[in-house]
Amino acid sequence: MRSFSIIILSLLGTAATVAAECCSSPATCLDGTKSDIWSCCAYGSCNIFCCNCDGGCRQASTKRSWTDWVSHDLGNLASDSEGTSVCGLTRTDKQCVIDKINELDTDLDGKVSLAEILANPDIVRPGLSTSGIDDAELHDMLTKLFDIYDTSEDGYLVFDEANTRQVVHL
């Protein structure tokens, strides 16, 4: 019985350190796949925040030799890896989405409007405000992204819509 208790305590301890992984992408995924700020560096579909992705985030190959890295700008790889954000060591994917929705929900009505996303684009895709995209294109692309996830077509995102995995092609 004592060994069973130790196993349970060990499992509980590791469960508390699970991190919610987000697969945002500034230009190139860590595996070398070309991407853009509207795509997620994931193997499958993701929620609106590029988190909770099917198949996880694209990772750098462990089989690359030093010559593979010489042909790449290592400075860009550092910035690309920063595009992948972890919501925190003790936050689950669900809690990460809840926290991001709460951060976006400035009028505290429990849902997120397009206007709230337009006012805080970096919460949805880190780096949008410094990406150099002009305001008209940013507005257009965020509206298209919002419309993909607003499956009820009521002009708001609630948790279930924001957390639903969608394949996004903008």
Q: What is the pLDDT along the chain (170 residues), one digit of tens a residue?
A: 555 444 444 444 444 334 567 888 767 888 888 888 888 999 999 999 998 899 989 888 766 554 444 444 433 333 333 334 446 555 788 888 999 999 999 999 999 999 999 999 999 988 888 888 999 999 999 999 999 999 999 999 999 999 999 988 88
Give pLDDT, residue 20: 62
From the DSSP assignment, how many helices (H) and strands (E) are in the chain?
A: 8, 2
Measure the CA–CA gap between 26 and 104, rounded to whole angstroms.
21
Measure the CA–CA gap between 77 and 32, rounded to whole angstroms.
9
Beta-sheet strands, E only, within 10-125: 112-113
Q: What is the pTM of this model?
A: 0.72
Give pLDDT, residue 80: 36
Give pLDDT, residue 75: 39
Instruction: Give all domains of the chain, ordered by start, each with its CATH number.
Output: 16-163 (1.10.238.10)
User: How buried is residue 29: exposed, middle or buried, by Cβ count under 10 Å (0-12/13-18/19+)?
Assistant: buried
Is the separation of the CB atoms in 65 and 73 below 8 Å? Answer: no
Give pLDDT, residue 60: 82
